Structure 1
Amino acid sequence: MDKQRLQAYYQLIQQLLSCADGEESAILQANSELLDADFLQLLKVGVAQMSTQEGQENRANKLMFIESQLNQALDIPLEEYTPEAETPVSEADIETYLLFLLEVLQATAESQGNPQVVYPLLAANTDKLNLTFANL
């Protein structure tokens, strides 16, 4: 997944989170070229991250609902949507992921959730946005 597409995914997620209830389907339809298994993966990571942050439950629930609806509508085969089995993670890797998680949470808190601060941090670390990170 290239950085330009990843940025487009993040912008779409931000639009979905900030739109009024009921506008989601129009936004998704206008951005249908971005709706694929990678986008669903990113939604899953977003839900996992928001679920751990106090005060973000409504946003996490909104993304979870959108992800569920898209998964049904796109009819993506389970094997395409499910990431490959992860290799065992070493203690050093776990520490790297935890430090990254701390960095993301700190940037989120200090910027009060400003996507212009948080999204570039995530975009620069896409190698860490995987099932291992989501399971922390």
Structure 2
Amino acid sequence: MIFRVLAEATMAVHFLFIGYVVLGGFVAWRWPWTIWLHLVAAGWGLCIVVFTLNCPLTYVEDWARERAGQSGLSRGFIDTYLTGVMYPERYLDEVRLLIAAVVLVSYAGLVYRWWRRTRRHDAEQVKRG
């Protein structure tokens, strides 16, 4: 029972991590200090895609499922739960490009917000003399 719960919890954390990789740059619009955490997460996500690595969470889920008497993941997490389920497998490259575009837009927005805030601060300093 405990291993099944661990497997399900790991799966949920994995989904949250992927959501953060995709949308975490927008979180940094509200809390700019989180950009460092997002850079690490996005970098890790990119390494997984480029070097076809398995995330450690995949190993944990696989291990827990096997201990619970279930079959482990026959493929990686994304291949098991997303590709072919959330979008057709033939659109994998397009989905990856869309995710990259979302991350880049979030970073561009963050830079723009930082630039605007800096400009506003500089203008206030000039007014004060």
Q: Which has the higher contact order (CA 8 A, sep 6+)?
A: 2
Q: TM-score scaled to structure 1, two decimals?
A: 0.29
Structure possessing the higher radius of gyration over alpha carbons: 2
